[in-house]
Amino acid sequence: MGSGLSFDVAHLLAGSLVLVSFMLLYQDRMYALLNIFALHALVLALSVAWQAYVQDAPHLFVTAAIALIFKAIVIPVALRRIVERLGIHREIETVGGVGLTMLAGMALVGLSMVVMLRVTGDADPLAREDLAFALSVVLLGLLMMVTRRNAVSQVIGFMSLENGLILAATGAKGMPLVVEISVAFSILIAFIVIGIFLFRIRERFDTVDVRALDDFRGERQ
Name the residues that contact other proteins, by CB under 8 A. 115-116, 118-123, 127, 131, 134-135, 138, 141-142, 145, 151, 154, 158, 161-162, 165, 168-169, 172-177, 180-181, 184, 188, 191-192, 196-197, 200-201, 203-205, 210, 213-214, 216-219
113 burial via Cβ count (<10 Å: 0-12, 13-18, 19+): middle
- Looking at residue 57, the DSSP 8-state letter turns out to be -
Single out the residue of 38, 51, 211, 217 nearest to residue 133, CA to CA.
51
Nearer to other proteins, 99 or 203 (CB): 203
Minimum CB distance to other proteins, residue 119 (Å): 4
**76 pairs with which residues across the strands?**
none
Q: Which is nearer to other proteins, 6 or 154 (CB)?
A: 154
Q: How far is the CB of 213 from other proteins (least distance, A)?
A: 4
Please state the closest distance from residue 70 (CB atom) to other proteins, in A. Answer: 17
Amino acid found at 221: Q
Give burial (CB, 10 Å; 0-12/13-18/19+) of 47: buried
Q: Residue 35 or residue 86: which is nearer to other proteins going by CB? A: 86
Full DSSP string of 12-45:
HHHHHHHHHHHHHHT--BHHHHHHHHHHHHHHHH
Nearer to other proteins, 74 or 175 (CB): 175
Which of residues 17 and 162 has its CB atom nearest to other proteins in the complex?
162
